[in-house]
Amino acid sequence: NAGVMQNPRHLVRRRGQEARLRCSPMKGHSHVYWYRQLPEEGLKFMVYLQKENIIDESGMPKERFSAEFPKEGPSILRIQQVVRGDSAAYFCASSPVVGTLAKNIQYFGAGTRLSVL
């Protein structure tokens, strides 16, 4: 009965490298959300995806960040040419069926903590 799985838990990158964060939603969930959390801050929405579709990317920085959720496999949040300001905890969440009140309940993974040196 696995929940939302994120890996790696911790990721260290040097400036200019690429970071790839993975998220497998809960079984039966086809909606994935990515959030960023800075120390002492709340969760900032980045992007909402369904299988093979980006539904809402209004929170994604315009450059260097991209996300995908392929038909097979986990959702990937990709950050190219990382900078120190990208250091944060990145959380993935998934939710059940759209069209019911339960759609708004999101289940979170344990997060990936990205440190950029």
Partner 1 sequence: GQQLNQSPQSMFIQEGEDVSMNCTSSSIFNTWLWYKQDPGEGPVLLIALYKAGELTSNGRLTAQFGITRKDSFLNISASIPSDVGIYFCAGPITQMNRDDKIIFGKGTRLHILP
Footprint on this chain of partner 1 (rule: CB under 8 A)? 4, 6, 33, 35, 41-43, 45, 48, 55-56, 58, 91, 93, 98, 101, 103-111
Q: Which is nearer to partner 1, 33 or 65 (CB)?
A: 33
CB of 102 to partner 1, least distance (A): 8
Give the distance, in angstroms, between the CA of residue 113 and the centroid of all CA atoms in the same chain: 11
Nearer to partner 1, 67 or 111 (CB): 111
Least separation in angstroms between residue 70's CB and partner 1 is 20
Q: Which residue has the tokens 């708004």?
A: 104
Beta-sheet strands, E only, within the chain:
5-7, 10-13, 19-24, 31-37, 43-50, 53-56, 65-68, 75-79, 88-95, 107-108, 112-116
What is the closest distance, in whole angstroms, from the C-beta atom of residue 68 to partner 1 in the complex?
A: 18
